A and B are shown apart, each in its own frame.
Chain A
Amino acid sequence: MFFISLLGAVAAPFITFVSTLVKQHKFSDQTFLFKAFFTDVNFYILMLIGVPIYGVITTYLFNREYAERTLKNLLTIPVSKVNLVFSKLLLLLLWILTLTLVSFLTATIFGFIANLDDFSIAVWLRSLKEFITGGLLLFSLSTPIILVTLLIRNYVASIIVTIMITMVNVMIYGSEYSALYPWSAVEVITTGHFFKQYAAFLSYMSIFATSILCLILALFYFQRKDVQ
């Protein structure tokens, strides 16, 4: 599963690389910069590819004990349900950060292959910060998927939810509502492109309120649910 997720992490840099080559061919007199390239890769990750990929990974981690029928074993050791959830959250965080770094490093390599201009350590580090910020914020928004997984214990449900989330991202991108919708608010915060209608803290609130509420609901449900 991890190696498959690596392929997913390379997808956004690769798509952007191909798109850049096409543009370079079409508009040969234009200058193509590393900064813009990194921004485009991060955009694809945050708005399109990241949510479904991270959603599947989340479901894989939280559904595994049900799928392999090892939950009864763990709970009778005993491992507490709260510890189990937080252990998996920690692993999910490491996994998402790893994929984020793979995407970023792959983007760097593709940028050099495409012969982009304006590379500097400052640009590189600033872009790295944006990638990691986006990764961390998307990680915090994994809790709704955790809740869905614990409720329904099925990949299909999680995939449908992540697709719906992504579709809403696409629909409201560019409008001021993207500052309030948690998943598009990640891109707004990462790029710093806030809207004057809504203060920046509302974007942060939207993300963390969703994250914390769904985490509490997930823990509450998991604690109360009998093991079948």
Chain B
Amino acid sequence: MSTIIQTTNLTKKYGEQVSVHRLNMTVKKGEIYGFLGRNGAGKTTTIKMLLGLTKPTEGEIELFGETLLRNKKRLLTRIGAIVETPGFYENLTARENLLINARIIGIHKKRAVEEALETVGLEKETKKLVGKYSLGMKQRLGIARALLHEPELLILDEPTNGLDPIGIKEMRKLIISLAQERNITILISSHILFEVEQLAHRIGIIHKGELLEELDMDKLHTLNKKHIEFLVSDESKAAYILEEKLGISRYQVHEDGIIRVYSHLYEQHLINKELVLGNVDVFQMKLSEDHLEDYFINLVGGGTIG
């Protein structure tokens, strides 16, 4: 599979502050790449460098096998993008906004605007000015604009920001269909891990400007550990019982009475019995698997609001 995005030691500094540090990212053709990180991790800065909106301090960017610096104008015509909240001329309708874009790009196909609006479900909004659109509608219109020229690569910076649960689900379905039906390579940045877990083939995790890890979702699933999850009345007492009475050391105590035991997976009944005998109430017990969120938190740490 060929490489669509390749960065080499990509770095961005603002004075003394390092926003992105020696980032080496690879996005392959046809895949959905989830670019994950906390707020302020460097996701949007990286995306802006990929699109030539921000100049890197150091490093190189290759798109479609060519250097961005030397071939920017030609390469950008193959990319559609949403960076942060999409902006529009709010005194115009969706169709008028897209027509302006189509003219600037030089699109001659007559139905290009209509097809783009149909793809995102905005074809019926003929008279409403964009200034009256909800955030979700603007996000969808942003995708319509990004698709107008039938790009090979779609870069979406937090496309589900501000959307309600139904909007998020619709956006997810749209992204998956774009990748499957049109074979578009998609780079999607997000801090909503559950959503990315549903659609990405590969993920890259960035933290404080550094790409900590890149891995396939299949490998992630094998790494994510199966465990028994207990909801108990007293996690400290439960931890003591696990160690002293059962000799179990592979466990994790979480907040709100949750304990995860990573061994003895088929001896749940014995563990439950010992906990109850030790006067620890067990409210819930289930066999489960770590999610991307757990992997992410283990990798980047927590403790602060980001």
Residues of chain A touching chain B, judged by Cβ–Cβ distance below 8 Å, are 68-80, 224, 226-227
Contacts and interface: CB of A to CB of B under 8 A. Distances in A.
B238 to A, nearest CB: 50
Interface in B135-181: 145
Dominant SS at the B interface?
loop
A224 B87 CA distance: 22
Interface string B31-75: 000000000000000001001111100000000000000001100
B81 interface: yes
B81 A227 contact: no
User: Interface on chain A toward B: helix, strand, loop, or mixed SS?
Assistant: loop
Given A73-B101, A226-B48, A227-B54, 19 more contacts: A68-B87, A68-B89, A69-B86, A69-B87, A70-B88, A71-B87, A72-B51, A72-B53, A72-B83, A73-B86, A74-B104, A76-B52, A76-B76, A76-B79, A77-B76, A78-B76, A79-B104, A224-B55, A226-B55
Q: How large is the interface on B (under 10, 10 to 19, 20 to 34, 35 or more residues)?
A: 20 to 34
A71 B89 CA distance: 11
Interface of B: 48, 51-55, 72-73, 76-77, 79, 81, 83-90, 101, 104-105, 145
Nearest to B155: A76
A209 B73 CA distance: 32
A31 B92 CA distance: 52
B2 to A, nearest CB: 22
A48 B81 CA distance: 45
A22 B53 CA distance: 58
B52 A75 contact: yes
Contacts of B73: 78, 80
B290 to A, nearest CB: 37
30 contacts: A68-B87, A68-B88, A68-B90, A69-B84, A69-B86, A69-B87, A70-B87, A70-B88, A71-B87, A72-B51, A72-B84, A73-B86, A73-B87, A73-B101, A73-B145, A74-B104, A75-B51, A75-B52, A75-B53, A76-B51, A76-B53, A76-B79, A77-B101, A78-B72, A78-B73, A78-B76, A78-B77, A80-B73, A227-B48, A227-B53
